[in-house]
Amino acid sequence: MSEARLYSFYKSEIVPSLKKDFGINNNFAVPRIKKIVINCGVGDAVADRKRLDDIAENISLITGQRPVLTKARKSISNFKLRDGMPIGAKVTLRRSRMYEFIDRLVNLALPRARDFQGISDKGFDGRGNYTFGIKEHTIFPEIDTDKVSILHGMDVTFVTTAENDEQAYSLLKYFGVPFVKRNKN
């Protein structure tokens, strides 16, 4: 299996740039992306199991990997939800699939989003991880819009080895993630 294009770019271009920006001497201390988690919660899955199956199929088309169905942790009677019922789907991408997903996300999917101005830089958690939401799954080219019965969104989380949000921001910026102009408040 050949090396992902974006991983080669990371090793040749991004690592030296981050070493210079943050004064890091060791290549292994340079921040990197460990994994990407794509999560989709389906509140309507309680009433309609087919909807959850459709969403799981869409996520597997987008990521190239079969999702794991997430189950409710506790019962909530007002929502007719019982402990253990499937209510969502998630996928964890690593290595080459992760880099290929970043490539498709940044270069194909996000520019196709309606009225796209960039993604917010407010999704950092203080430990170098970044999460943002996608409102419509149809921005991915793998989804045939003629066969879509329901629109759904998803959360995308980049888990990095960065020590702080500044390093994670720089890492994602070098990968080409289109952030909205950063506010210095």
Split at pLDDT 50, 70, 90, the class of 45 is low
What does the mean pLDDT of the chain come to? 81
The pLDDT of residue 79 is 65
* CA–CA distance, 155 with 137 (Å, rounded to integer): 10
Q: Out of 14-18, 152-156, 167-171, pick the least confident.
A: 152-156
Tens digits of residue pLDDT in 51-108: 888 888 888 888 888 988 887 766 766 666 667 677 788 999 998 888 888 888 888 8
Distance between CA atoms of residues 59 and 53, nearest Å: 10
- The predicted pLDDT at position 7 comes to 85
The tally of CA atoms less than 13 A away on the side-chain side of residue 59 is 29
Rounded to two decimals, what is the model's pTM?
0.81
d(CA 36, CA 101): 9
Rounded to whole angstroms, the Cα distance separating 60 from 58 reads 5
Domain 5-174 of CATH type 2.40.340.10: no
| 30 or 146, greater pLDDT | 30
Residue 37 has pLDDT above 90, yes or no: yes
Read off the pLDDT band of 146 (50, 70, 90): low
Residue 75 near residue 82 (C-beta atoms within 8 A): yes
